[in-house]
Amino acid sequence: MGIAGDIVIIVMAALLGGLIAQMLKQPLILGYILAGVVVGPYTGGVTISDIHSIEKLAEIGVALLLFALGLEFSLRELRPVRAIALFGTPVQIILTTLYGFGIGRILGWSWTSSVWFGALISLSSTMVLIKTLEKQGMMGTLSSRVMIGVLIVQDLAVVPMLIILPQLNNVQDGMAILLVAAVKAAIFLTVMILVGTKIIPRLMRYIANWNSRELFLITTTTIGLGIGYATYIFGLSFAFGAFVAGMLLSQSDYGYQALSDIIPLRDVFSLMFFTTIGMLLDIRFLLANWEIILLLVGLVMLGKAVILAVLSRVFGYHNVIPLAMGLGLSQVGEFSFILGRVGISTKSITGEFYTMVLTMTIVTMLLTPFISGLTTPLYAMARRWMKPLKLEPLNFPSKGLKDHIVIAGGGRVGMYVANVLQQKNIPFVILEYNSRRVHEVRKSGFPIIFGDAAKTIILEAADLKRAKLLLITTPVAVISLGIVAHAQRINPGIRIIARAEGEEQMKALYTKGVTYVVQPEFEASLEIVNQTLLNLGIPAEQFKTFTEDARQELHRPLSV
């Protein structure tokens, strides 16, 4: 059946691979890559007859991936962590590229291959990290926001890399080719800004007025792929044009609807892309070169972890964040596959080199959940050797503190609690280690101690022995459990209210003797239920008992 039969084989194999990945709690892309290995030319059995045609379909998948990335891009997401995201990430990419270049030269590779290797390993995996953070219950924490901010800028860095890296193949022409590419990109962007501000909004408004989802989807796809192909004809990357098209469309009133419509199409064609990656994986090559591949895995993950951890410290992040960032982003990402495919198509790198990098990348992805899971135990061990932290009481009452509440964490939750306590004239003190938050709390006039709440000296400075209650607002398990342990040594009878992101963390806190644990997602669901019933005209008295019973059902088996 030719290409039709090949597509059926790929989709069926990808479905099976995706199910296996889901059962193993791994990202789906790893299942798709595994499917590609199975139906590829190196394993025998059922295989694809026309790989070249499938690769052409995969290029559409790459374009749709970057088109969707452009639609999703928002500067608002970067504001809370804009310093490290916008300025730290380029530094990280440069340092990692230089590190990879050094590894390549030491191993005897050509300078071109070494630069490509450095660029390929400089990117981390958005899909793998988000899946890992969700599994660990870390989404929404400061460390997760920092890492996602870095990943967004890394993903954006793919675009200039798509322009610059292929030109290394013509280094004899010096900077002229890069200059021509830059001029082409500038001209293209100028034209696209005019198109995006004058033509696209009018076109989308005209199509939307027809109230046809089919026409809207076709128009959206035409804009993404059409501009991408125009870019290709202009001498730039197909994927680069698709990304620009996505960014332009995202600025219109129809960006969110366009994104929601394009996602299923993107996922189907992306499946083709990741499957073709698996087809390139030669198992015989892996078995014959396992020593160098394992060496590269170790060097890359260790080097990236150190670079990212140090960089986060330089930008003022402390506590568990440098360790979480280093371990969480130490893998190589899926956009490296896209860059690698461009390298293959432009003959900048060899198939054997790409296979080696591909194999190494897949191994780093598989190791990420385990490596990232070491954050909690390693941070707990590191605390034993940490130097005492700087103690800085601010805005303390002249009479000192007694029968007060200690709030561990001066973030949004801690500040809201502090505002209520101040209105009720209840004495309290906030413990916070983030210097920016300390500055904000200080301006509010609240009593605060600059320091790590999981350190005994900080808790003692807050007069925990004479406190009535300890509130732990951080959702990070390793920090909250550390605070509980030290607090109970200082004041064995202290009542503790803590926050937890999931049932496992809730159970761990109750096991350690915490008085009450609040799970924000559960409380939000109860409030949504309450408001739903109220809006249906059901009196509050009729479902108040239900709400209390639901809370007791959640907490009873954990608090006993």
Tens of pLDDT along 527-542?
898 888 888 888 877 7
Residue 355, Cβ density class (10 Å: 0-12 exposed, 13-18 middle, ≥19 buried): buried
Structure-block tokens of residue 1: 């059946």
Q: What is the pLDDT of residue 494?
A: 94
Percent of the chain with pLDDT over 90: 26
What is the average per-residue pLDDT within 316-343? 86
pLDDT digits (tens, 9 = 90+) for 293-303: 999 999 999 99
| Domains of the chain, each with CATH number or no CATH | 1-167+196-382 (1.20.1530.20), 402-517 (3.40.50.720)
DSSP 387: P
C-alpha–C-alpha distance, residues 115 and 357, integer Å: 13
138 or 92: whose pLDDT is higher?
92
User: Would you say residue 469 has pLDDT above 90?
Assistant: yes
Give the CA count within 13 Å in the CB-facing half-sphere of 404. 24
Residue type, 496: I
Structure-block tokens of residue 285: 């090559």
Residues 6+ apart with CB under 8 A from 316: 83, 435, 436
pLDDT digits (tens, 9 = 90+) for 405-418: 999 988 889 999 99
Q: What is the pLDDT of residue 242?
A: 87
Residue carrying the six token digits 């690698």? 340
Percent of the chain with pLDDT over 70: 90
Q: What is the pLDDT of residue 31?
A: 87
Q: What is the pLDDT of residue 103?
A: 96
**Contact at 8 Å (CB) between 245 and 191?**
no
* pLDDT-derived band at 28, boundaries 50, 70, 90: confident
User: Whole-number mean pLDDT of the chain?
Assistant: 83
What is the average per-residue pLDDT within 329-340? 87
Decide the pairing of beta strands 405-408 and 495-499. Answer: unpaired
pLDDT digits (tens, 9 = 90+) for 474-512: 887 778 888 998 899 999 999 999 998 877 888 889 989
User: Would you say residue 186 has pLDDT above 60?
Assistant: yes
Residue 332, Cβ density class (10 Å: 0-12 exposed, 13-18 middle, ≥19 buried): buried
* pLDDT-derived band at 273, boundaries 50, 70, 90: confident
Count of all residues that appear for the chain in the document: 560
Residue carrying the six token digits 């295989």? 47
pLDDT digits (tens, 9 = 90+) for 213-271: 899 999 999 999 999 888 888 877 787 788 888 888 887 888 888 988 888 888 888 88
Q: What is the pLDDT of residue 77?
A: 60
Residues 6+ apart with CB under 8 A from 422: 428, 446
User: Would you say residue 391 has pLDDT above 70?
Assistant: no
Q: What is the pLDDT of residue 73?
A: 67
